[in-house]
């Protein structure tokens, strides 16, 4: 399965999404999924997980540490064979990519 859900409850993609919701960009008090940094989650039949994500900007202060945190936390999930995190810049991230909940949390609505 590929994309950003909805995933079958209990599926590996659903578990990965749950982990991603525990990771925060230190500059924004909202998890990286709700901020719109996660573009794709894919898990194959052998439990190899691939995540395509972006950052708020190429100069993001956590550009080196955030992808490593994503990989480490997802790799710690039971049943995950491997994790590949790919940083992409297309489409470019913008505040419009945040979920409605994130915009509400940040007072943008």
| pLDDT confidence band for 3 (50 / 70 / 90) | low
Confidence at residue 2, expressed as pLDDT on a 0 to 100 scale: 44
Query: Are 36 and 98 in contact, with CB atoms under 8 Å apart?
Result: yes
Beta carbons within 8 Å of 60's beta carbon, 6+ residues apart:
25, 66
Beta bridge partners of 40: 52
Q: Assign domain 2-105 one CATH number from 3.40.980.10, 3.30.300.130, 3.50.50.60, 2.60.40.680.
A: 3.30.300.130
User: Structure pTM?
Assistant: 0.89
pLDDT of 28-86, one tens digit each? Answer: 889 999 999 999 999 999 999 999 999 988 888 888 899 999 999 999 999 999 999 99
Calpha distance 31→21 (Å, rounded): 5
Q: What is the pLDDT of residue 109?
A: 67
């Amino acid at each position: 399965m590929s994309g950003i859900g909805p995933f079958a409850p209990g599926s590996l993609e659903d578990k990965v999404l749950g982990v991603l919701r525990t990771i925060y960009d230190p500059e924004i008090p909202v998890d990286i999924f709700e901020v719109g940094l996660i573009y794709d989650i894919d898990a194959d039949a052998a439990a190899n997980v691939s995540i395509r994500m972006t950052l708020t900007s190429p100069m993001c202060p956590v550009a080196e540490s955030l992808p490593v945190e994503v990989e480490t936390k997802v790799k710690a999930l039971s049943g995950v064979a491997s994790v590949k995190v790919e940083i992409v810049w297309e489409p470019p991230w913008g505040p419009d990519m945040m979920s409605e909940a994130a915009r509400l949390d940040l007072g943008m609505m």
